[in-house]
Amino acid sequence: MSIRLLDQTLIDQIAAGEVVERPASVVKELVENALDAGATRIEIATSGGGKALIRVTDDGIGIAAEELALAVRRHCTSKLENGLFAIDTLGFRGEALPSIGSVAHLSLRSRRRGADGAHEIRVSGGVTEPVRPAALGDGTVVEVRELFHAVPARLKFLKSDRAEASAVTEIVRRIAIAFPHVRFELAGEDRSATILTATPGEPLVRMAAILGENFAENALALDAEREGVRLTGYAGLPAFSRGNALHQFVYVNGRPVRDRQLHAALRAGYQDAMARDRHPVAVLFLELDGRDVDVNVHPAKADVRFRDPGLVRGLLVGALRQTLAANTVRPATTGASGLMARFRGPVAQPGYANNAPGHEPVAQSFFRPLDAHPPRSQGLAEAPAAYVPPPIAPDLMDGSPAAGFALGLPRSQIDKAFIVAETIDSLVIVDQHAAHERLVYEALKAGLAARPLASQLLLIPEIVDLPEIDCERLCAAGPTLERFGLKLERFGPGAVAVRETPAMLGSVDTRALVADLADELADMGTADGLETRLHHVAATMACHGSVRSGRALRQEEMAALLRQMEATPGSGTCNHGRPTFIELKKSDLEAMFGRR
């Protein structure tokens, strides 16, 4: 065995493995090149999920005939004039085109602005053909055919045409948000055409075109700065959350990035305002000096490293918290640790017994005394009236708490969200939404065996406007959804018509259900088996079919829920793994009051 220098095609193919992972990464590189060339109109067309064809057409400055050959050579770039730390273009490594040319049929047709005519160069499996004259008005057309034909192993890793096509859509959406002054057109056999018209100076209009029209009225503007790092963009209201993190767009100096730390910071900013299993919708732009951030971490240029990550995180978390706190009606919750501290009793609060008359004590305890006002002159001598439990439905009368129900008998409901029950030796608090969600989920799964599940016909089909990519996902999953009794069909571009909904869910917010399902579908790997997919769908539907918190329940309803929970395996946790109830032993209660 001896050491030798690899031939150029092999070198390019190895490098291509990092730059060009799938059709969407080719699209990303080509669109970036068009933007770097100052294009104001970019058209992207694909067929066969981008495996058969990717064509990107732009009206940018173009490439001169004598430079075409350089454009497809490794480490040749017209960018990077001011070094690695003052990068003001999306590309800079000079390796996208040669990489693509080494694993596909690449053709580059271009006319430099002001030049007499256009020229074309072709590269196939790493072999470059001579430049020749071509016909083209202005700008550049790049065509990539039969991607990875030269490296069959790679082909095997690609997903279905449909999945690859939607990855292409996703990447274009991501880039387009940062370039509202550019018109994007996404077309080709893989999809019905989407046009994003140029909206110069109106970033929010572009965002709404991509994130849904209601984003604008559900988002808060961000603008903060700390030590030379600036954060702008929009943060979706907590109530406008989604079922996955796909609707979070982060840009560093105009470059779309996927950075764990930034996403973690985003999450932390929302922590107190949002349930754990929900994800905020947000568009964040970070601007900072090129010397303070390294984008040359990976050939795909989607990773970044900050010189001072703590500073960036602090800015993000701080700005989000502040903006949200100033705008949400609901105050930030204190969380479990705060609650536990409050259990500790009267130490932290003014004693009720010895208050000077006229001075209302500030009730700091979580459990306020039953009387609205603490007794004054009589001190504690006058005991509050005995607590009378609410009447229990007749059929439960003879069931004393000792009757053997693990979750006991319902005593009352708190905040229309929690059921308080009593067993023979404990106090039980049930999260009604979480519990019911789990029950519906189990029922849906069980019902699937007797498929298809019953549906209810909507008198008037409900038309739901959704981003095109979501419509595609939903329609593609049509047969699966039908098994649950959800029937929908396409209703022109950017909308679906829902005709029937699952009977088991009762009356649901169809729009919200469909949007969440689209999210869930986007999150699901195509590799997931049918079983897993069905369960995911069941879980999403269950969430919509359950008794949301905020509904007053009658005594019988509460009892029925408890009995059902006892009869359902796995009902101790909701579909997201949170507990559906908590229990406090009476002995613990006694201990808390110092009786033991």
Position closest to Mg ion via CB: 91
Residue 97 interacting entry, from Mg ion, ligand ADP, none, C-beta within 5 to 8 Å by type:
ligand ADP
In DSSP terms, which residues pair with 252 in a beta bridge? 255, 286
By the rule CB under 5 A, 33 interacts with Mg ion: yes
Strands 282-287 and 229-236: antiparallel
Task: List the one residue from 47, 102, 107, 140 that touches ligand ADP (CB under 6 A).
Answer: 140
3-state SS of 217-261 is HHEEEEEEEECCEEEEEEEECHHHCECCHHHEEEEECCEEECCHH
By the rule CB under 6 A, 12 interacts with ligand ADP: no
Nearer to ligand ADP, 38 or 361 (CB): 38
3-state secondary structure at position 127: strand
Nearer to Mg ion, 87 or 518 (CB): 87
Calpha distance 528→476 (Å, rounded): 15
The answer to whether 45 and 188 are in contact (CB under 8 A) is yes
Phi (first) and psi of residue 378, to 5 degrees? -80, 0
Task: List the one residue from 23, 60, 126, 374 that touches ligand ADP (CB under 6 A).
Answer: 60
Q: How far is the CB of 181 from Mg ion (least distance, A)?
A: 20
365: Cβ contacts below 8 Å, ≥ 6 apart:
342, 345, 346, 349
Residue 535 interacting entry, from Mg ion, ligand ADP, none, C-beta within 5 to 8 Å by type:
none
Nearest-5° Cα angle at 164, 249 to 161: 155
Q: How far is the CB of 22 from ligand ADP (least distance, A)?
A: 17
Nearer to ligand ADP, 97 or 172 (CB): 97
By the rule CB under 6 A, 92 interacts with ligand ADP: yes
Q: Which of 404, 411, 403 is nearest to 427 (CA)?
A: 411
Q: How far is the CB of 98 from Mg ion (least distance, A)?
A: 10
Q: How far is the CB of 228 from ligand ADP (least distance, A)?
A: 27
Nearer to ligand ADP, 25 or 323 (CB): 25
Nearer to ligand ADP, 32 or 259 (CB): 32
Q: How far is the CB of 495 from Mg ion (least distance, A)?
A: 36
By the rule CB under 5 A, 98 interacts with Mg ion: no
Count CB neighbours of 216 within 10 A.
Answer: 13
Strands 118-124 and 581-585: unpaired
Q: How far is the CB of 270 from Mg ion (least distance, A)?
A: 34
Calpha distance 470→461 (Å, rounded): 18
Task: List the one residue from 11, 17, 21, 79 that touches ligand ADP (CB under 6 A).
Answer: 79
Count CB neighbours of 341 within 10 A.
Answer: 11
Task: List the one residue from 49, 91, 280, 485 that touches Mg ion (CB under 5 A).
Answer: 91
- DSSP run (H or E) holding 432: helix 432-448
Q: How far is the CB of 97 from ligand ADP (least distance, A)?
A: 4
Nearer to Mg ion, 78 or 456 (CB): 78
Nearer to Mg ion, 140 or 169 (CB): 140
Nearer to ligand ADP, 290 or 314 (CB): 290
Stretch of 29-37, 236-244, 331-339, 423-431 lying at the interface with Mg ion (CB under 5 A): 29-37
Calpha distance 334→320 (Å, rounded): 17
Torsion sign across C-alpha atoms 38, 41, 47, 50: positive
CB neighbour burial string for 424-456, b if at least 16 within 10 angstroms, e if fewer = eebbbebbbbbbbbbbbbbbbeebbeeeebebe
Stretch of 27-35, 148-156, 228-236, 568-576 lying at the interface with Mg ion (CB under 5 A): 27-35
Position closest to ligand ADP via CB: 91
Nearer to Mg ion, 108 or 274 (CB): 108
Residue 481 carries which side chain, given as an amino acid letter?
Answer: L
The answer to whether 420 and 414 are in contact (CB under 8 A) is yes
Calpha distance 157→163 (Å, rounded): 12
Number of chain residues interacting with ligand ADP (CB under 6 A): 21
Nearer to ligand ADP, 106 or 541 (CB): 106
In DSSP terms, which residues pair with 195 in a beta bridge? 185
By the rule CB under 6 A, 31 interacts with ligand ADP: no
The answer to whether 444 and 534 are in contact (CB under 8 A) is no
The answer to whether 548 and 239 are in contact (CB under 8 A) is no
Q: How far is the CB of 224 from ligand ADP (least distance, A)?
A: 32
Phi (first) and psi of residue 219, to 5 degrees? -125, 150
For the segment 97-126, give every residue that binds ligand ADP (CB under 6 A): 97
Residue 118 interacting entry, from Mg ion, ligand ADP, none, C-beta within 5 to 8 Å by type:
none
Residue 428 interacting entry, from Mg ion, ligand ADP, none, C-beta within 5 to 8 Å by type:
none
Calpha distance 39→30 (Å, rounded): 12
By the rule CB under 5 A, 25 interacts with Mg ion: no
Nearer to ligand ADP, 121 or 444 (CB): 121
Count CB neighbours of 458 within 10 A.
Answer: 14
Q: How far is the CB of 435 from ligand ADP (least distance, A)?
A: 55
By the rule CB under 5 A, 96 interacts with Mg ion: yes
Residue 60 interacting entry, from Mg ion, ligand ADP, none, C-beta within 5 to 8 Å by type:
ligand ADP
Q: How far is the CB of 453 from ligand ADP (least distance, A)?
A: 51
Phi (first) and psi of residue 520, to 5 degrees? -60, -40
Per CB under 6 A, residues contacting ligand ADP are: 29, 33-34, 37, 58, 60-63, 71, 77-79, 91-97, 140
Per CB under 5 A, residues contacting Mg ion are: 33, 91, 96
